[in-house]
């Protein structure tokens, strides 16, 4: 068995396989002279463990291999080896006068392969390996001369192969599984009787090996080789690097050593283990179907005893003569059989307890065996041991076993997963689990194992402190590690999650909160989300889309989580958050800011609220802390909600998802991306308006959506004046069919080339017919739409150049843009430039969206009328974009508080200045003087008083007074009623709007 000299205990085969290292070891060839051979020939055996040579008891050959007796032309020595391994014998330069030698003989290199055609050995005879069986040889050492009658002879077995060594294996039954088996089968030793163990528990030679007594075996290799050389028995020595097992606990090299042990007879369970494995689902499935299945097919009996003091004692009591063996099943049984009270099951509390022999008092007492359980036996017992079954919780166990799922790393395939399966199969004839999630290993950034000694990874607490636990969780969950593949951990990857996921997600949440608060700032009723039934029936296309997408999300997550597929869920969730922020919030800003009316604003905010709430609930298992923070605030406007998001049930599917609108919006985003690509190729920034965009697609429903309810978003996002849908696939495009090799390759095999050639040769009419019908038969193979890619190439109209019209396609849809300059669009372009500069200045000034400011424009051109006319023509667009009018700088009051001011040069061939100020009151001085019957002093005092008031509070008072307030607090002045719009305007924008209305 694999034996750890560091821990002084045997290991199971799966423990021995868990820690291999590349290490150098000696390799030597040794002669064993054949007794009574007339020519003085010797067997040549090869070994990489010289320390086992003192324990040699036999040599093993393969009966079916051909062996040769050869004579060295250099030294005259005669050897017996397998014919196929003759090239491994060393070659020395022959000495002058050596029989059959030649002074100028060419030699082989160190690899043993001849540098020329000269043969270094003369073949004297050939014979099958079976003819060597029974021949005696002279042992290397005489430590085991008492075995001479049965040992030191040749035996045969198929484990000897022709691909390594000399074709002759030296057998030390105490240190090799095959060695032990072969020596037992050939009566060299008797099972359980005369096996001598010349190495102690520390891995040191015992007194029997007199020349090396007390030496650690691996350290004695060099001295043993030297002793063999001094005896004249060393043929060849060297070193080679190979993979060698080390103890997973002590990190010391393992040796194979005969050790008495207790086993679970796994080989008897093999068929049932394989059958039970088929009843389980693994994620990913290849670990079950390949790695674990192969391991079970080659499963060996499991050694479950360990030679340690601390551990769970084996409950086995045995008589001195080994006849009586009793396995005790409970503390109660032990007390009953022994007559002693048992309060502690550790060794020092029970080792003294004896049991009377069932054969009678004359046969003495049974004592507990000294060994303890392999700790993996305890791990594998988890499903029943943790609830103290069968002594308690029988009904609970019966109702819940096998467990619904277990989750651990890939390295547990031969560890915990294996022991769970073995014990549950042996005890209950069923697997221990229904589902299993297997993750890969997290490695350092350089691809090596994370090492405390090398410090080749960032501190986990440092990563959490910098980016948060949720970002770390999401980075790992959305990585190859959940597909049982290795992950090279990068701290920058965690930052990427913060930047690409959490910041956009939080911004969508913040946008909701800011605009919900805006309602109160504007003096309206506080935000209370509308019920789901109301928002689901919203007439707005983006509301319909995001509601449908949310239901699709819930359906998908439930479906995939039920199948334990984490690696599909997280990418879908992240894409949903991206769509929420970059489509719904971005395209819906006007509604959410209340510029389309209070009712529409509340519908949009309620939709966003419910979507964010559902998203938080769906993401709570993956980002528990972030979602809890958002939920704690969202629940404040919802009566009867749970105190914590982790008390909430996972969302249920409500209503319908996967509607046509989802596909149309996805295609709309494709169109927008393609159009942006065209603009970039021709250096046409989005602020430059273009005349026309043509969308070519065969789906009439999609074109109806693009030309109808989605049109306004396409026009605004791409800054084009018109969108022209076209369902004539050949008007602007030439069609080409391409087979999808990734789909068809496995299915068609050798037929792939014939089918591929036929697909590529499809005519325009064939392709159109295929798209309409949905399938086509080629070479007796039925191909569907998913099997063939239809590529739409742009067919430019006659007389048009690439600079005038260009197109882009993703194979599904073709987008064409008219790039010709149109002077009528210059005004719109200039207005966009101005709005862009204003928004950037607001951001630079750190203004919140709810901050009320007024924007003033001042032309710095010689002819100010040019910009004035352009802005006047675009007044509606500017007001919609800013939420307020763009005012002439000449209108700014002297008492206005300026927040920011910046000058811009050569923007669309114009120079101008933008000024931002706090909202300022505008007084009708004549009307105020009339309030006080012509007393200008009183009128001035009223203006000073109103200017001293907080603007938002003053606005609220006018709202509560239906546009009128009474001012009676000015000392020594009469009370007056101030009317909004008659005596004062709250902003210059209000004053400007009132003058325009006249």
Angle between helix 598-619 and 503-521 (nearest 10): 150
CA-wise closest residue to 570 among 636, 655, 656, 483: 483
- Of 202-206, 307-311, 501-505, which gets the smallest average pLDDT? 307-311
644 neighbors 634 (Cβ within 8 angstroms): no
Q: Which helix (H) or strand (E) holds 604?
A: helix 598-619
313 neighbors 368 (Cβ within 8 angstroms): yes
pLDDT at residue 117, as a whole number: 34
pLDDT tens column, 482-506: 888 888 999 999 999 999 889 999 9
pLDDT tens column, 565-576: 888 888 888 899
Instruction: Identify the band that residue 756 occupies on the pLDDT scale cut at 50, 70 and 90.
Output: confident
Q: Check pLDDT > 80 for residue 106.
A: no
480 neighbors 440 (Cβ within 8 angstroms): yes
d(CA 608, CA 714): 21
d(CA 196, CA 377): 30
Tokens 């020349």 -> residue: 211
pLDDT at residue 616, as a whole number: 93
Instruction: Identify the band that residue 110 occupies on the pLDDT scale cut at 50, 70 and 90.
Output: very low
DSSP SS3 for 92: coil
Q: Which helix (H) or strand (E) holds 20?
A: strand 20-33
Percent of the chain beyond pLDDT 90?
Answer: 38
Q: Which long-range contacts (CB under 8 A, 24 or more apart) does 528-534 make?
A: 528/637, 529/605, 529/606, 529/609, 529/610, 529/637, 529/638, 530/602, 530/603, 530/606, 532/610, 532/654, 534/603, 534/606
Provide the mean pLDDT of the chain.
87
Question: Kind of pairing, strands 78-82 and 66-72?
Answer: antiparallel
Q: Check pLDDT > 90 for residue 632.
A: yes
CA-wise closest residue to 422 among 466, 386, 463, 374: 374
Q: Check pLDDT > 50 for residue 762.
A: yes
Beta bridge partners of 856: 887, 915
pLDDT tens column, 841-852: 998 998 887 777
Q: Taking CA 964 as the corner, what is the angle to CA 961 and CA 966, rounded to the nearest 5 degrees?
A: 95
Tokens of 449: 């194992």
d(CA 608, CA 602): 10
d(CA 80, CA 44): 6
Q: Check pLDDT > 50 for residue 776.
A: yes
Residues in the chain: 998
128 neighbors 167 (Cβ within 8 angstroms): no
d(CA 284, CA 438): 7
d(CA 526, CA 537): 23
Mean pLDDT of 65-91: 90
Instruction: Identify the band that residue 92 occupies on the pLDDT scale cut at 50, 70 and 90.
Output: low
- Who has greater pLDDT, 771 or 232? 232
CA atoms within 13 A on the CB side of 633: 15
Dihedral sign, Cα of residue 447, residue 449, residue 454, residue 460:
positive
310-314, 452-456, 608-612, range with greatest mean pLDDT? 608-612
Q: Check pLDDT > 80 for residue 370.
A: yes
CA-wise closest residue to 267 among 303, 304, 301: 301
Beta bridge partners of 817: 693, 806
d(CA 891, CA 899): 16
pLDDT at residue 744, as a whole number: 76
d(CA 543, CA 530): 13
Instruction: Identify the band that residue 113 occupies on the pLDDT scale cut at 50, 70 and 90.
Output: very low
Instruction: Identify the band that residue 858 occupies on the pLDDT scale cut at 50, 70 and 90.
Output: very high
d(CA 992, CA 885): 8
Instruction: Identify the band that residue 856 occupies on the pLDDT scale cut at 50, 70 and 90.
Output: very high
- Of 90-104, 483-497, 895-909, which gets the smallest average pLDDT? 90-104
pLDDT at residue 115, as a whole number: 38
CA-wise closest residue to 165 among 99, 77, 249, 88: 88
DSSP SS3 for 761: coil
d(CA 66, CA 84): 8
pLDDT at residue 761, as a whole number: 86
410 neighbors 287 (Cβ within 8 angstroms): yes
pLDDT tens column, 523-558: 888 999 998 888 888 889 999 999 999 999 999 988
d(CA 642, CA 648): 6
d(CA 978, CA 931): 8
Measured CA to CA in angstroms, residue 43 lies from 99, 140, 216, 708, 841 at distances of 22, 12, 28, 93, 93
Q: Check pLDDT > 90 for residue 612.
A: yes
Q: Check pLDDT > 80 for residue 88.
A: yes
173 neighbors 144 (Cβ within 8 angstroms): no
CA atoms within 13 A on the CB side of 781: 21
Instruction: Identify the band that residue 154 occupies on the pLDDT scale cut at 50, 70 and 90.
Output: very high
pLDDT at residue 743, as a whole number: 74
**552: CB partners within 8 A, 6+ apart:** 657, 658, 662
d(CA 891, CA 889): 5
pLDDT at residue 730, as a whole number: 79
pLDDT at residue 657, as a whole number: 60
Question: Kind of pairing, strands 254-256 and 78-82?
Answer: unpaired
Instruction: Identify the band that residue 100 occupies on the pLDDT scale cut at 50, 70 and 90.
Output: very low
pLDDT at residue 604, as a whole number: 93
Instruction: Identify the band that residue 193 occupies on the pLDDT scale cut at 50, 70 and 90.
Output: low
- Helix ranges (DSSP H) in 298-415: 331-338, 347-350, 375-380, 382-385, 394-400
pLDDT at residue 192, as a whole number: 61
DSSP SS3 for 986: coil
Q: Check pLDDT > 60 for residue 112.
A: no
Question: Kind of pairing, strands 42-47 and 153-156?
Answer: unpaired
- Helix ranges (DSSP H) in 774-894: 826-844, 864-873, 875-882
254 neighbors 17 (Cβ within 8 angstroms): no
Q: Report residue 286: phi and psi, to 5°.
A: -65, -25
Peptide bond just before 284 cis, omega within 30 deg: yes
- Of 186-200, 374-388, 901-915, which gets the smallest average pLDDT? 186-200
pTM: 0.66
Q: Check pLDDT > 70 for residue 583.
A: yes
Taking each continuous run of H as one helix and of E as one strand, the counts in the chain are 36, 41
pLDDT at residue 783, as a whole number: 84
CA-wise closest residue to 74 among 41, 44, 106, 42: 106
Tokens 């045995």 -> residue: 318
* Residue 933 burial (CB count, 10 A): 8
Q: Check pLDDT > 80 for residue 659.
A: no
Percent of the chain beyond pLDDT 70?
Answer: 96
pLDDT at residue 94, as a whole number: 54
Beta bridge partners of 853: 918
């Amino acid at each position: 068995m694999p034996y750890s000299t560091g821990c002084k205990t045997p290991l199971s085969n799966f423990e021995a396989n868990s820690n291999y290292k590349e290490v150098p070891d000696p390799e030597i060839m040794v002669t064993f002279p054949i007794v009574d051979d007339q020519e003085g020939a010797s067997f040549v055996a090869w070994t990489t463990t010289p320390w086992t040579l003192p324990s040699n008891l036999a040599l093993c050959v393969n009966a079916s291999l051909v062996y040769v007796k050869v004579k060295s032309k250099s030294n005259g020595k005669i050897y017996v080896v397998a014919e196929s391994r003759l090239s491994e014998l060393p070659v020395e330069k022959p000495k002058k006068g050596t029989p059959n030698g030649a002074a100028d003989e060419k030699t082989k290199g160190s690899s043993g392969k001849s540098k020329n055609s000269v043969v270094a050995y003369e073949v004297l005879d050939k014979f099958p390996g079976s003819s060597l069986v029974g021949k005696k040889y002279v042992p290397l050492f005489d430590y085991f001369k008492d075995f001479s009658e049965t040992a030191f002879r040749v035996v045969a077995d198929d484990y000897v192969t022709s691909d390594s060594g000399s074709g002759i294996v030296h057998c030390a039954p105490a240190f090799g599984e095959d060695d032990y088996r072969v020596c037992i089968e050939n009566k060299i030793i008797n099972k359980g009787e005369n096996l001598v163990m010349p190495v102690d528990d520390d891995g040191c030679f015992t007194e029997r090996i007199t020349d090396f007594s007390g030496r650690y075996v691996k350290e004695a290799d060099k001295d043993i080789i030297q002793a063999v050389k001094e005896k004249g028995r060393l043929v060849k020595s060297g070193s080679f690097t190979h993979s060698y097992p080390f103890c997973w606990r002590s990190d010391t090299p393992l040796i194979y050593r005969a050790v008495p042990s207790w086993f679970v007879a796994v080989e008897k369970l093999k068929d049932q283990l394989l059958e039970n494995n088929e009843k389980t689902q693994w994620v990913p499935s290849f670990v079950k179907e390949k790695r674990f299945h192969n391991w079970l097919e080659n499963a060996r009996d499991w050694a479950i005893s360990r030679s340690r003091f601390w551990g769970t004692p084996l409950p086995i009591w045995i008589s001195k003569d080994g006849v009586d063996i009793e396995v005790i099943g409970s503390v109660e049984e032990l007390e009953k059989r022994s007559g002693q009270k048992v309060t502690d099951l550790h060794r020092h509390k029970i080792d003294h307890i004896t049991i009377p022999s069932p054969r009678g008092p004359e046969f003495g007492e049974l004592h507990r065996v000294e060994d303890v359980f392999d700790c993996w036996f305890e791990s594998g017992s988890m499903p029943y041991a943790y609830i103290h079954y069968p002594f308690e919780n029988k009904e609970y166990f019966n109702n819940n076993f096998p467990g619904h799922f277990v989750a651990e790393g890939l390295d547990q395939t031969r560890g915990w997963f294996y022991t769970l399966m073995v014990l549950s199969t042996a005890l209950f004839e069923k697997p221990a689990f229904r589902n299993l999630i297997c993750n890969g290993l997290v490695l350092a950034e350089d691809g090596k194992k994370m090492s405390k000694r090398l410090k080749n990874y960032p501190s986990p607490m440092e990563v959490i402190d910098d980016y948060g636990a949720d970002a770390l969780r999401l980075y790992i969950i959305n990585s190859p590690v959940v597909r049982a593949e290795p992950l090279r951990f990068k701290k920058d990857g965690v930052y990427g999650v913060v930047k690409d996921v959490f910041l956009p997600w939080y911004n969508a949440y913040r946008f909701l909160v800011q605009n919900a608060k805006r309602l109160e700032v504007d003096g309206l009723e506080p935000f209370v989300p509308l019920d789901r039934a109301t928002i689901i029936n919203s007439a707005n296309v983006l509301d319909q889309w995001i509601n449908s997408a949310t239901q699709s999300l819930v359906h998908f997550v439930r479906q995939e989580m039920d199948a334990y597929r984490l690696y599909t869920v997280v990418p879908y969730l992240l894409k949903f958050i991206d769509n929420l922020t970059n489509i719904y919030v971005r395209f819906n800003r006007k509604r959410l800011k209340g510029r389309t009316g209070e009712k529409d604003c509340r519908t949009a905010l309620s939709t966003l609220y419910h979507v964010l709430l559902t998203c938080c609930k769906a993401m709570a298992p993956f980002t528990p802390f972030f979602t809890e923070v958002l939920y704690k605030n969202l629940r404040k406007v919802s009566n009867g909600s749970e105190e914590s998001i982790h008390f909430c049930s996972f969302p249920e599917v409500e209503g319908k998802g996967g509607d046509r609108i989802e596909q149309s919006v996805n295609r709309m985003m494709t169109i927008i991306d393609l159009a942006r690509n065209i603009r970039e190729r021709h250096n046409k920034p989005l602020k430059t308006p273009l005349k026309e965009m043509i969308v070519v697609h065969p789906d009439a429903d999609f074109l109806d959506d693009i030309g109808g309810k989605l049109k306004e978003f396409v026009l605004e996002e791409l800054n084009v004046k018109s969108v022209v849908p076209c369902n004539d696939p050949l008007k602007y495009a030439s069609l080409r069919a391409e087979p999808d090799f990734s789909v068809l390759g496995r299915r068609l095999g050798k037929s792939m080339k014939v089918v591929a050639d036929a697909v590529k040769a499809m005519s325009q009419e064939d392709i159109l017919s295929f798209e309409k019908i949905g399938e086509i038969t080629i070479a007796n193979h039925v191909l569907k739409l998913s099997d063939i890619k239809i590529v739409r190439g742009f067919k430019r109209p006659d007389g048009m150049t690439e600079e005038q019209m260009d197109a882009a396609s993703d194979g599904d849809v073709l987008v064409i843009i008219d790039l010709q300059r149109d002077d009528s669009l210059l005004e719109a372009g200039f207005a966009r430039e101005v709005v862009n500069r204003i928004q950037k200045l607001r951001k630079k000034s750190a203004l919140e969206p709810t901050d009320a400011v007024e924007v003033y424009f001042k032309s710095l051109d010689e002819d100010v009328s040019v910009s004035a006319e352009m802005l006047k023509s675009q007044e509606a667009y500017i007001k919609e974009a800013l939420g307020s009018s763009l005012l002439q700088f000449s209108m700014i009051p002297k008492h206005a508080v300026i927040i920011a001011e910046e000058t811009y040069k050569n923007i669309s061939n114009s120079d101008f200045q933008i000024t931002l100020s706090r909202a300022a009151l505008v007084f009708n001085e004549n009307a105020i003087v009339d309030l006080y019957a012509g007393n200008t002093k009183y009128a001035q005092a009223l203006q000073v008083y109103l200017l001293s008031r907080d603007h938002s509070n003053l606005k609220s008072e006018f709202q509560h007074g239906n546009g009128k307030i009474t001012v009676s607090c000015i000392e020594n002045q009469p009370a007056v009623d101030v009317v909004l719009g008659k005596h004062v305007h709250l902003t210059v924008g209000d004053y400007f709007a009132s003058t325009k209305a006249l």
